[in-house]
Amino acid sequence: MTLQEVVSQIKPADQAAMAAARAHWDTVAHPLNSLGLLEDAIVRIAGASGTADVDIAKRAVVAMCADNGVVAEGVTQSGQDVTAIIAENMGRGTSSVCRMGRVAGADVVPVDIGVAVPVMAGKILQRNIRRGTADLAVEPAMTREECERAILVGVEVVKDLVDQGYRLLATGEMGIGNTTTSAAVASVLLGREAEEVTGRGAGLSTDGLRRKVDAIRRGIAVNCPDPSDPVDTVSKVGGLDIAGLMGVFLGGALYHVPVLIDGFISSVSALAAARLCPAALDYMLASHASNEPAGKMVLEALGLEPFLYARMCLGEGTGAVAVIPLLDMALAMYREMSSFSDINIDAYEHLT
């Protein structure tokens, strides 16, 4: 299936299922809308899955792992070797998101979509498009064809997981330098100056931050990404992890499974996917607002409100995993609470 075929087959969420879920919430013995965003989330999940009988028992985090040539510009505190180390740890089940995932009952599915050196831990899906991108400050990060292939990898991973019975997906990533690529994409898609959207990532010094902003400015000037074309933008100043996550969001929409957005890198990927296919937005849920400067900006551009403001910026999918227990608690009320009639209480009414 081509990218164009994927986009053409995506339909908006099921409005009838959403209405049924909202109607069911109104029968649950609690003050109307008193769970706020959690009620909204269950309704959105119903719309995404096409049924008010919501089931998210089997869930996974898809973590796209890739290296970024822009690290040559001195925009990171760590070297590229860290990408491979953490990806291997994901494959062994010992990374941060794996520890949190066990608590949340979420499997972690790491994908080598562009790590600079081979990573071979058993659970890593081998989908490498190229061994790291080029330095976006001097040339396009990748070709458009490579970007489209990476997007389709994300779509295919979602299909495989849905076929295995997964009904809730979360996005994660690992890639030294990917706050630089994400800030570059955000700068283009949001029409913001580089310094407005660029943060210190994993602990950059002030001088390092200046280099990072300068690299993004030069990359945009050299490559002239088209803000009306998210694939062009991601291929020129983005990364393979961003492209792969675009595919996860598109795949979620294509195969009717809700997808939790993690932090800054994931939200930029979600924005690019939504710009490519607006209907895909119906299948996205924001988990938290990243501590990166553009974290809230991107979610606002998507029109999504996060559950958490926890100053998190770890990545890997940890923020998305952190909200899964909240969804479980909301779903327990949705499915198991008595109705007003069960306990002989007059139902609340929607008042104007």
Q: Which CATH architecture has domain 56-326?
A: 3-Layer(aba) Sandwich (3.40)
Query: Which residues form the catalytic set?
Result: 316
Output the 3-class SS for 191-228: CCCHHHHCCCCCCCCHHHHHHHHHHHHHHHHHHCCCCC
CA–CA dist 262, 270 (Å, integer): 10
CA–CA dist 238, 113 (Å, integer): 14
Q: What is the pTM of this model?
A: 0.97
Q: What is the mean pLDDT of each run of 10 residues along the chain (352 residues)?
A: 97 98 94 94 98 98 98 92 96 97 98 97 94 98 98 98 98 97 98 94 84 97 98 98 98 98 97 98 96 94 95 94 97 91 79 70
| Rounded alpha-carbon distances, angstroms, from residue 222 to 74, 137, 145, 233 | 18, 7, 19, 12
The pLDDT, as a whole number, for residue 343 is 83
CB 283 within 8 A of CB 155: no
